[in-house]
Amino acid sequence: MFFSSNKKVDNRIDGFSHLGEGASFEGEIHCKGEIEIAGKVKGNISAKTLRILEGGKVTGSVNAEKVEILGCMLGNTTSLNIHVGEKGVVRGDLRFETNLSVVEGADILGHVQKAKKDKNKKVDTDKVKYLEHSQKAS
Amino acid sequence: MPSVILNDTILKGTLSQKDSITLDGTFIGNITAEEIIVKDHGTINGNLNASVNIEVNGNVVGDLNSDKIHLTSFAKVRGKLSHKNLSVDEGAQLEITAQTRKRISNLNKE
């Protein structure tokens, strides 16, 4: 883990953002790509992919396309795909559109709901897929 | 573990970090850390407080406070600097007031 994130420092074009263990942040986060949180965040997060690592703690609401909760999440989560890991702790609602996976041992207290697909979001994901495809092609 | 904020990320708020932080994205607000590195695409609007080192190769509007401040050739900085050791590379665009402190680093003292 440690080494892989160090690599990301070097080639920061196709890496992902990382908030380290010693970090505590209060405020908003908007991320167009992937972000990993190992520290403490208070506030709302919108991202394409959000990963709350073990030891990470997020207080606030999350809006993303893919959320992995391996740490602690206090607040509501809205996402296309949600994954809660073995040591994941969730206090709040989980609202997902496509997939929800929960590993044995996860601790969830809140409302879990499969939401109807939002047309706007669907367009967005199609766009993203198209962009990814064109990137690969070029 | 050090934090890395990439180009595609915008943060608004206050960040305090025990070790090092590398910023290549947009940050609005104040940062306190041991070491702050602002890369080419980094844009900061707020004060930077580091106990050891600040390195700027991007845009910063706000006050910088650190023992060692290094402004590299693509730096654009506007604000007040408080430092023990300042170095500026050729090409840096600055609009600053700089002050050298003699005392050992203390974030509240200047």
Give the mean pLDDT of A94-117.
Answer: 92
Residue B40 touches chain A, beta carbons under 8 Å: no
Query: Quick check: A10 contacting B, CB < 8 Å?
Result: no
Provide, as residue numbers in chain A, all residues whose Cβ is less than 8 Å from the Cβ of B3: 18-20, 22-23, 39
Residues 6+ apart with CB under 8 A from A64: A45, A46, A47, A48, A49, A50, A77, A78, A79, A80
Q: Which of B4, B8, B19 sits opposite A18 (nearest CB)?
A: B4
For tokens 């207290």, what's the residue?
A109
Taking 80 as the threshold, does the pLDDT of residue A95 lie above it? yes
What are the backbone angles phi and psi of residue A6, rounded to the nearest 5°?
-65, -35
Instruction: Report the DSSP pairing between strands B76-83 and A107-109.
Output: unpaired
Across chain B, which has 110 residues, the per-10-residue mean pLDDT values are: 90 94 95 95 95 95 95 95 94 93 58
CA distance A97 to A110: 17
Q: Give residue-wise pLDDT tens across range A23-71.
A: 999 999 999 999 999 999 999 999 999 999 999 999 999 999 999 999 9
Here the ipTM equals 0.84
Look up residue A2 and give its DSSP letter.
H
Cβ-nearest to A20 among B14, B17, B25: B17
pLDDT digits (tens, 9 = 90+) for A106-124: 999 999 999 876 555 555 6
Q: Write the single-letter amino acid at A106.
A: A
What integer pLDDT is reported at residue B101 of this predicted model? 86
DSSP string, B13-68: EEEEESSEEEE-SEEES-EEEEEEEE-TT-EEES-EEEEEEEEESSEEES-EE-SE
How open is the CA angle A54-A56-A58, to the nearest 5 degrees?
135
Alpha helices in chain B (DSSP H): none
Residue with the two structure tokens 């992995």: A68
Q: Which helix (H) or strand (E) holds A120?
A: helix A119-137
Which pLDDT does position A129 carry in this prediction? 74
Helical ranges in A52-118 per DSSP H = none
A49 vs B: CB within 8 A: no
Higher pLDDT, A135 or A51: A51
Distance CA B76, CA B107 (A): 23
